[in-house]
Structure 1
Amino acid sequence: MATKTAPINMRVEPSVRNILDAAASILKVDRTVFIQQAALAEAYEVLANQKDFTLDEQAFAAFEQALDATPTRNEGMADLLSRKAPWE
């Protein structure tokens, strides 16, 4: 069964369309795919950079508990950080 799609329409200056088309052509995708990928990447970035979030009481208690817990030693990370850098 095909997934339904939702249209998003926009108007841009011809010069903007030309730039989008040129970039899409370089990536060998059509304009729609190029715009979708670019918009999705930016949307993920915006969402990932949100500093404010809310938690219910149970989730907040678990969050605080994780912050207050004594860090555990990661042997693999300790080994990696103790090695001499390849360029040294």
Structure 2
Amino acid sequence: VELGIAGGLAGVARYAGGAVAVTIYLSILGNVQATKAAVLIPEAVVGAGGTATIAAGVAAALPLGAAALMKVPGITLAIAEAGGAAFVQSYVLAV
């Protein structure tokens, strides 16, 4: 009986520890990615010929998908591609 209880408690501890670890990892990933994106996306958009206003719109639209991105006033395909590449790079740097 004691062996079963010990095994059960070990399993519960392992699952609880995993849940805590995943929560911490995702929190750190999200914060670092947002910080990197706030720097990389405006640089990329301005480098592709956009303005600071367009860069703000691109940064807000990127997490929402391509349809939202193409609705940003003044956006071009080059700006969208540059912003998208910077968004992906922010995840690469966050990991």
**Do these two structures clear the TM 0.5 threshold for a shared fold by scoring above it?**
no
**Over alpha carbons, which structure has the higher Rg?**
1
The structure with the largest helix share of the pair is 2
Q: Which has the higher contact order (CA 8 A, sep 6+)?
A: 2
Normalising by the residue count of structure 1, what TM-score does the alignment of the two structures yield? 0.31
